[in-house]
Amino acid sequence: MKRVITTLAILLVVVVTGMSALVLLVNPNDFRAYMVQQVEQRSGYRLDVSSDLRWHVWPQLSILAGRMSLTAPGASQPLVSAENMRLDVDLWPLLSHQLSVSQVLLKNAIVRVTPESSAQRAKNAPQGPRDAEPASASSGWSFDIAKLRVADSLLIWQQPGGDEYNFRDLNINMEQDANKLATLSLSTSLMRNQRNATLNLKGQLDAAQYPHRLSGQLQQLDYALSGADIPVQGIKGSLSLQGEWNGDRQQFSFSNLQLTANDSMLTGQGSGQVALPQQLVLDLKASTLNLDNLLTSTPVPETPGVQHATVARSPVIAAPRERSNADSPLNDLNLALKLQADSVVWRGLSLTGLVVNASNQQGLMTLNTLSGKLGNGSFSVPGSIDIRQPETQVSLKPQLRLIAIQPLLKAFELPESLQGNLSLDGELSGNTLTVDAAKRSWQGRATVSASNLKLAQLNLQQMVQRAVARVSDKVSSQEAVDEGIESISGQVALNKGVISFSDINGNGQNLGLQGAGKVDMVQQQLDVTLGLKISGWHGDEALVKTLSSQPVPLRMYGDWNSLQYSLPVDAVLRDRLQSEAKSRLNQWIDRQKEGENKENLKKIMRP
């Protein structure tokens, strides 16, 4: 044991002595020009190191540098700048005065991905033909760099003409082998307009054919969003996929997509093209898709005694940047989307079997198919959305079949005063694709019908029967059980928040009705008049005949939270009595005239 310890101690002394001698014999500044030359030769980027290089021996033989920057050709700002840079080097190549860097560590770096930091083509630079063969594969500019670490840094990202985003606490670890197969991990956070986002990424990247091809696997990307204009519980989830990039054609594709967002889950695949015209093809499937947990526009149910958290709104900026349809990325994109979802929750509605087949042609979006089931009913809403003009144009042709009315009213934040099943065929148009805009500014017409319709806390037959009983005791009827209206149909017109009903016809047990009216969704008022015909009366034949044949007008009007009613049964009966009295008077007059005529005839016939 003593011999082993003595041997190890001797070896340690030899290694330390050798490294110390190497440090004394080799000046790291001798490699400065070599590093600058290699970086520029392999990538075209300019490397600047402002301070002298110095050795760091323990625990890893390294070269320490102060401020450094890496600038793309023709760029006005560096792509990467850092306060500290450490190069971990291999020992044996130094014996022959060669530099082999095993790891690069940048600390407190600033990475700029902006128009100012991107490479610029020289004004007089020659351009080859578009159909020329692509350049040979680049060997990369890592020059034997196996590991790259970026710690406690900042990423500034900005698209041309877009907003600037600062990703803080940027940490990157990348390792690559001799075959250019890299393992990557990344974490960062973003804060903007009172919104927070955190990202944690792990993946693999095959850069053996870079820049012509890249392929890789995003093993896991965990994200979390919170703050203003985001649901109170936030949005959390993960993403994984396999992807490939074709640099020559500027095309990409991905498969085995698995995306989770709160309790929603999507799978699928897609492909696209970055070069103009940009293209994107998506084929997605969802087992569950809860939009209410992802959107802030969902109505919150009012439960007595329960307090609901309020979604924080984005701050008011003194001079906000005006956005228009011209800013939409859809104007430069050709999109084809296919989506199938087994279960979807939208504004409290539980949809099943949702199928979406949509396309976008540089701002003209077409909903070829938007269909599904709601309860025992079904729906289909094809249409188009045009954002090629400053004002959005929306055109939809909804078709509903036996859709439950009460949940639908709740979803659109309307009084839940009707029960039954609704069928509808219509055409709607507007200038903004939101529920609030649809209730305020859309226009359209539709043919509607409903079955098993009931008015909440309102029995039409019973109202008429009790009103007749108060006016006259000559007729009676067995008090009806509220079985609603078996079927009703009519025409509906929507004009800037006002729904107008016309040609309303319906029937139920011992009930027939006709009518018209309107509902103002903006002012929350209505004015509807129904002519009710009730059968099943007993008593005075004349009154029974009158009540069975003549409609009794029921008017409902005023604020829909405190409706007023008008049911003038006495006027109907009074009109009937007046009509009967007038008829009897006319009969008496006719008899009198007939008697006088007979007397005159007798006088003429008398000899």
Res. 132: pLDDT tops 50 = no
**Tens digits of residue pLDDT in 554-592:** 898 999 888 888 888 776 666 554 455 445 445 555 555
* pLDDT attached to residue 9: 53
* pLDDT attached to residue 308: 42
Of the listed ranges 247-261, 470-484, 559-573, the one predicted with least confidence: 470-484
Distances (CA, A) of 452 to 82, 456, 506, 577: 73, 13, 11, 36
How many percent of the chain have pLDDT more than 70? 77
Confidence of residue 19 (pLDDT cuts 50, 70, 90): low
In whole angstroms, what is the distance from residue 171 CA to residue 211 CA? 24
Confidence of residue 25 (pLDDT cuts 50, 70, 90): low
DSSP per position, 237-286 = EEEEEEEEEETTTTEEEEEEEEEEETTEEEEEEEEEE-SSSEEEEEEEEE
User: Pick the residue with more confidence: 195 or 604?
Assistant: 195
DSSP tag of 330 = G
* pLDDT attached to residue 455: 83
* pLDDT attached to residue 3: 57
Residue 82: how many CB atoms within 10 A of its CB? 24
The pLDDT of 46-72, averaged and rounded, is 80
As a whole number, the mean pLDDT across the chain is 80
DSSP tag of 458 = B
590: left (phi over 0), alpha (psi -120 to 50) or beta: alpha
Confidence of residue 594 (pLDDT cuts 50, 70, 90): low
- Delimit the domains of the chain by residue range: 393-567
| Spatial CB neighbours of 518, under 8 Å, sequence gap ≥ 6 | 498, 499, 500, 501, 526, 527, 528
Res. 251: pLDDT tops 90 = yes
* pLDDT attached to residue 595: 57
**Dihedral, CA atoms, 216, 217, 222, 224, nearest 10 degrees?**
50
Where do we find the tokens 């500290």? 84
Res. 143: pLDDT tops 50 = no
In whole angstroms, what is the distance from residue 359 CA to residue 356 CA? 10
User: Pick the residue with more confidence: 43 or 192?
Assistant: 192
Phi, psi of 224 (to 5 degrees): -150, 130
Phi, psi of 579 (to 5 degrees): -65, -40
User: Pick the residue with more confidence: 266 or 17?
Assistant: 266
Confidence of residue 141 (pLDDT cuts 50, 70, 90): very low
Confidence of residue 163 (pLDDT cuts 50, 70, 90): confident
**Dihedral, CA atoms, 102, 106, 110, 112, nearest 10 degrees?**
0
In whole angstroms, what is the distance from residue 518 CA to residue 499 CA? 5
Res. 307: pLDDT tops 50 = no
* pLDDT attached to residue 420: 92
Q: Considering only CA atoms, which of 544, 579, 580, 576 is closest in space to residue 465?
A: 544
**Tens digits of residue pLDDT in 420-444:** 999 999 999 998 888 888 989 999 9
Report, in angstroms and rounded to the nearest whole number, the Rg of the chain calculated over CA atoms: 40
* pLDDT attached to residue 88: 76
* pLDDT attached to residue 196: 92
Res. 382: pLDDT tops 90 = yes
DSSP H/E element including 594: helix 569-605
Q: Considering only CA atoms, which of 212, 68, 43 is closest in space to residue 142?
A: 43
The pLDDT of 94-109, averaged and rounded, is 73
* pLDDT attached to residue 92: 58
Of the listed ranges 28-37, 235-244, 282-291, 315-324, the one predicted with least confidence: 315-324
Phi, psi of 120 (to 5 degrees): -120, 135
Taking each continuous run of H as one helix and of E as one strand, the counts in the chain are: 8, 32
Q: Coil, strand or helix: which one is 348? A: coil
Of the listed ranges 450-464, 507-521, 583-597, the one predicted with least confidence: 583-597
* pLDDT attached to residue 201: 94
- The gap from C-alpha 141 to its chain's centroid, in whole angstroms, comes to 41
In whole angstroms, what is the distance from residue 524 CA to residue 142 CA? 68
User: Pick the residue with more confidence: 317 or 117?
Assistant: 117
Phi, psi of 408 (to 5 degrees): -65, -40
